[in-house]
Amino acid sequence: MIIDKIIDSKIKTYAFVGPSGTGKSYRAQMVASERGIKYIIDDGLLINENEVIAGVSAKKAATRIETVKKALFNNPEEAKEIKKAFMKYRPESILILGTSDNMVEKIRINLGLPEYTETIYITDVATEEEMEEAKRIRKTQGKHVIPVPTFEIKKDFSGFILDPLQIFKSKGKGSDPYISEKSIIRPTFSYLGNFQISDSVFRQIIDYLANRTKSIYRINRTRINKTENGEGISIYMEVTLNYGFNILEELKSFKKKCKKEIENQTAMNIDNLDIVAKGIYMPEK
């Protein structure tokens, strides 16, 4: 069985414990980096350095009770997905985040991992002032940090606040610098709700890309609609192309470029993007 293979392995399991809102996730990558740990379990996600490789964030749950259940991997199917990832990636060590010793122990058991090699507490890596500030931000702004870049979680959180946060820290002379990007999200059940992005933002991104694409003479028209499920957007645009280019190839390339850039910059899913060529521009000779 998969679970037996994991228990019998020489994987080293670490716990990072601290009350909710004290900054665990914010410091998770630093703690992991100091111990040479490349894999992190946090709020239902299995993260390999800066990439989500398995799981669904517990912060997407509709209620706090469901959030806790997802974070603990109480659902056998959700735990199975993580176990399969263990078998695929063969991690040498894993850092599990939790609000208490009891919580990280339940996660360890549900995922079939070995006994803990070490337990690190938030008080070991953060001052009282830093923890109080983290609590203040959580309470007043409803924000939560997870240790992955914005572009890695945008698909799961389209329509909810994501603020990229660049961090650079030096551990002292002769040590490698610690550089990472965090993503700040607001849970689904947050009283602050979701956010809206003006249509002009999408148009500005499209115009910017068009100005840097040789085959595009101009954008004639752009229409932005929110999709029926409310989780993404639909874009329709009409363009005039410069003479001398393969129309189908250029439209396909520009479509791919627009989709990638808009999703990366706005964290919104593009469910549909149509581009229609409405004319060819031939410069006067």
pLDDT digits (tens, 9 = 90+) for 249-270: 999 999 999 988 887 666 577 8
pLDDT score for 143:
54
pLDDT score for 264:
66
pLDDT score for 67:
79
pLDDT score for 52:
79
| pLDDT score of 179 more than 50 | no
pLDDT score for 278:
93
What mean pLDDT value characterizes the chain? 77
d(CA 200, CA 194): 19
H helices of 142-190, in order, are 150-153
Q: Residue 121: in which H helix or E strand, if any?
A: strand 116-121
pLDDT score for 211:
92
Query: What's the pLDDT tens digit per position in 191-233?
Result: 334 445 667 778 888 998 999 999 999 999 999 887 765 557 8
pLDDT score for 161:
44
d(CA 108, CA 120): 15
pLDDT score for 171:
44
d(CA 83, CA 32): 20
CATH architecture of 2-185: 3-Layer(aba) Sandwich (3.40)
Q: In this structure, which amino acid lies at residue 136? A: R
pLDDT score for 80:
93
Q: Which is nearest to 254 in space by CA: 228, 282, 216, 284?
A: 216
| Location of structure tokens 């593009």 | 270
Query: What's the pLDDT tens digit per position in 77-125?
Result: 999 999 999 999 999 999 999 989 999 999 999 999 999 999 999 999 8
pLDDT score for 56:
78
pLDDT score for 180:
46
Task: State which of 69-73, 183-187, 264-268 shows the largest mean pLDDT.
Answer: 69-73
> What Å distances lie between residue 161 and 82, 190, 236, 267, CA to CA?
26, 11, 25, 8
| Count of other CB atoms within 10 angstroms of residue 221 | 10
Sketch the domain layout of the chain as residue ranges. Answer: 2-185, 199-281
CATH assignment of 199-281? 3.30.70.1350
Query: What's the pLDDT tens digit per position in 121-163?
Result: 999 988 888 778 767 765 655 555 545 444 444 445 454 444 4
d(CA 14, CA 109): 13
